[in-house]
Structure 1
Amino acid sequence: MISVKLTAQIFRVVAIAEAVTWLALLIAMFFKWVLGHEEAIAIPGMTHGIVFMVYVVVALFAAWRLKWNLVTTGLALVASIPPFGTLVFEVWAKRKGLLGGTEAPSKVAAA
């Protein structure tokens, strides 16, 4: 079985990859719509589509493995729709300690 820590790491890598492919697709769309290069979105579009599907599968696996509630799982899935939403979700989940508990901010007691 994949460890909780490895699950969180895989989720984070795929979330970042999804955002990077969104950026590539947005740049390609500029080339298509502004500069008239019709073929510009073929490879970035397919790449983003594949990474998007991988993100959804990994998010569902992470939700199961990291014991996310339904709201958190829904937020992870919805985050894949707007550009760079997966990065926003990843940072939020990291701060909330939802990525394996290893990234949660520690509370230091005042001495």
Structure 2
Amino acid sequence: METTIKETKTLKSFRWIAILEGISYIAFFITMPLKYFMETPMPNKIVGMAHGILFIVYVILALVVVIQQKWGVKRFIIFFAASLVPFATFYIEKKYLRAH
């Protein structure tokens, strides 16, 4: 189902946040072994905080973009679910947020 995308500042911001959130998720997986196996918690604290903030911003922007674009609840649920799965925000950015 192709949906028309109206390019807005919010949409551009959401695309960047989707990518950054995905990168922070990967970085979080890298810092977890440092915390638990090498007893070096500081990188995990920093990356964890960044990931948490990016997650919150991602979800808020997802809601705003869905409302602006008049996409509907199903699209928001897809975006939200993607924020919980590693690499999925990259897929969302490519499949749903780029003008085709």
Tell me the TM-score normalized by structure 2: 0.84
Paired amino acid for 1:86 = T
Pick from 10, 21, 40 the counterpart of residue 24 of structure 2. Answer: 21
Which one has the largest radius of gyration? 1
- Distance in 2, matches of 1:52 and 1:19, equals 9
Find 1:66's aligned residue among 65, 69, 94.
Answer: 69
* Structure 1: gaps spanning 5 or more residues: 105-111
> Is residue 84 of structure 1 aligned with residue 84 of structure 2?
no
Q: What is the CA RMSD across the aligned residues, in angstroms?
A: 1.6
Output the amino acid matched with 1:90. E
Query: Which blocks of at least 5 consecutive residues in structure 2 are unaligned?
Result: 1-5
Q: What is the CA-CA distance between 1:40 and the residue it aligns to?
A: 3.0
Between the aligned residues of both structures, percent identity stands at 32
Number of residue-to-residue matches in the alignment: 95
In the alignment, which of 30, 46, 50 is matched to residue 47 of structure 1?
Answer: 50
Q: Which has the higher contact order (CA 8 A, sep 6+)?
A: 2
Amino acid in the other structure paired with 1:71: K
Question: Is the CA contact (8 Å cut-off) linking 1:4 and 1:65 kept in structure 2?
Answer: no
Q: Given residue 93 of structure 1, which amino acid in structure 2 is its aligned partner?
A: Y
Q: TM-score, normalised by structure 1?
A: 0.76
